[in-house]
């Protein structure tokens, strides 16, 4: 009897050590990967209450759109690497743009669409749209499909309830429909 207890105790300790070592290894590898929680998108008070016509939001993480002249060039551009001769202070010489250059693409309008299954945020441009975020409510799961002329976000539950949000812009300004 005592011999069986010793074996059971040794097995339990070895199993516990193996599980702890495995968990630590997986945790170390997975830290800092794509499984980090998503960043929050600011939502205005109008969007929270479900009213339409909310104003565009600005974000400190929004990157400027490249200008049309920069994207039309067929040669790749490289960013110069800093060297010892590079001055850290900005130049005092004003930068002038040629009069024939077209203005940069205007930024889009960020709009939030609350549904029964979650919230979808799009950035709507004149002839296209981008998905900013899609967040399911508790108890709901989400799927996203992105194509060149439309975006679809589905929120669903285990009992088969589905709410779909479609954003289309094929030959017309972006339209958002909730079904």
Cα–Cα dist 96/100, whole Å = 12
Instruction: Locate the domains of the chain by residue range.
Output: 1-33, 109-179
Exposure string of 116-131, with b = 16+ CB inside 10 Å and e = fewer, is: ebbbbbbbbbeebbeb
Backbone angles phi, psi at 33, to 5 degrees: -100, -165
Residue that is written with structure tokens 């339990």 in the block: 12
30 SS3 class: helix
CB 113 within 8 A of CB 164: no
Could you read off the pLDDT tens digit of each residue along the chain, which spans 179 residues?
888 899 999 999 999 999 999 988 888 777 766 555 556 665 555 554 554 444 444 455 555 566 555 444 444 444 444 444 444 444 444 444 444 444 445 678 899 999 999 999 999 998 899 999 999 999 999 999 999 999 999 999 989 899 999 999 988 999 999 99
Q: What is the pTM of this model?
A: 0.43
Distances (CA, A) of 91 to 66, 84, 87: 22, 16, 9
């Amino acid at each position: 009897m005592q011999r069986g207890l010793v074996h059971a105790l040794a097995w339990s300790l070895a199993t516990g050590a193996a599980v702890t070592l495995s968990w630590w290894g997986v945790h170390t590898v997975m830290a800092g990967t794509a499984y980090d929680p998503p960043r929050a998108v600011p939502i205005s008070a109008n969007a929270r209450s479900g009213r339409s016509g909310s104003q565009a939001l600005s974000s400190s993480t929004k990157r400027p759109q490249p200008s049309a002249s920069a994207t039309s060039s067929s040669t790749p551009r490289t960013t110069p690497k800093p060297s010892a001769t590079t001055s850290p202070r900005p130049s005092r010489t004003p930068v002038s743009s040629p009069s024939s250059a077209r203005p940069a693409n205007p930024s889009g309008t960020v709009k939030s669409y609350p549904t029964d299954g979650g919230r979808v945020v799009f950035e709507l441009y004149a002839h296209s749209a981008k998905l900013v975020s899609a967040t399911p409510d508790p108890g709901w799961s989400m799927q996203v499909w992105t194509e060149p002329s439309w975006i679809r976000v589905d929120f669903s539950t285990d009992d088969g309830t589905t709410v779909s949000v479609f954003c289309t812009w094929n030959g017309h300004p972006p339209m958002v429909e909730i079904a």
